[in-house]
Amino acid sequence: MTSRGEFQRLADLGRHLAGSSPAVPVGVGDDAAVVRIGEQDVVVCVDVIVDGVHFRTDLSSPADVGWKAMAVNVSDLAAMGAIPHAAVVGLQRTAALTEEVIDQLYAGMAEAGREWGVAIVGGDTVTAPVWSVSLTALGRPAADRSITRAGARPGDRLVLVGTLGAAATALWADGEGVAVPPDLLAAHRRPRALPASGVALARAGATAMIDISDGLGADAGHLARASAVDLHIDRTAVMAAVPSTAVDLLPDHLLHRVALGGGEDFALLATVPADHADAVAEALDATAEAPWRWIGTAGTSGEEGTPAVWLDGLGGPDRIDTWGYDHG
């Protein structure tokens, strides 16, 4: 049987999962689901991080792994414009995992929870062949609606909050036997979610949003397809979001692919109506959570009818919506 990639598998499984309804304002297909309980909307997401896939014990401490498990979920809540609130944890531990390591793992999760206002309220543990952590996070919308991937309209401006390429460059450098600069390694070990920026964008009028976990190209492609628009990204503007340590380290022929398709950035990409641009700029400046920049615009889909993401500049546009990491 042919192996399915992560994105195709999720699409295939969608027929078994709940779509949107009055009880489920946002169903399958976004960074998180939104479930209505009484008069309150609850935003819920889950991520699994696995030894040898999302972290390596020779690069990350148990506390780093715990921090990362929390951060990746808070980033998904941020992409919905949600305020993080609580989490439950499922630990799949190997028989060799010591109590000391488990304690450090939970200490890292708790530390990240304090950073972003998330209470760990329970969970489960089980012995398994491979060490992994499954964390489910809950939040509440900060605005009168959750921000999905599907609201972008032609003419909207593209704003990027955060940096690109640091964690992916760290892993590339380690694989090449090159010394990894501390700032790049820190981005892999302890990524920074941006919930205050997500809230600011939602309240200031963002029309669509996604977190950049699998690479800017692939994740921008998800937003483009959900919104039925093309996205045009200015090459010079977006490459300014790549740390100079990554630019200096990567060979020229890999720079764009790694920086824009390597993943693990946990930046936020949002679309903003032109008449809301000043309000968004003021709101993001006020959070001071991460650097931000305007990087392009949304436009109508091309003649082929399939929404695409284009990297403009340097002799013509390159299509980049296939640039990204597929977990398989």
pLDDT of residue 67: 98
Q: How much is the pLDDT for 1?
A: 33
- Please name the helix (run of DSSP H) or strand (run of DSSP E) that holds residue 86, with its range, or none: strand 82-93
Q: What φ, ψ does residue 293 adopt, rounded to 5°?
A: -160, 150
User: What was the pLDDT predicted at 326?
Assistant: 67
CB atoms within 10 A of CB 218: 22
Q: By the 8 A CB rule, do 39 and 47 touch? A: no
Q: What is the pLDDT of residue 15?
A: 61
Task: Report the C-alpha gap between 112 and 115 in whole angstroms.
Answer: 5
Q: What is the pTM of this model?
A: 0.92
DSSP 18: -
Domains and CATH numbers, the chain: 6-141 (3.30.1330.10), 157-319 (3.90.650.10)
pLDDT at 191: 96
Q: What is the pLDDT along the chain (328 residues), one digit of tens a residue?
A: 334 455 544 555 556 566 667 778 788 788 899 999 999 999 999 999 998 888 898 999 999 999 999 999 999 999 999 999 999 999 999 999 999 999 999 999 999 999 999 999 999 999 999 999 999 999 999 999 899 999 999 999 999 999 999 999 999 999 999 999 999 999 999 999 999 999 999 999 999 999 999 999 999 999 999 999 999 999 999 999 999 999 999 999 999 999 999 999 999 999 999 999 999 999 999 999 999 999 999 999 766 678 999 999 877 789 999 999 765 4
Question: Which among 119, 62, 140 is positioned nearest to 96, based on CA atoms?
Answer: 62
Q: Is 253 exposed, middle or buried (0-12, 13-18, 19+ CB in 10 A)?
A: exposed
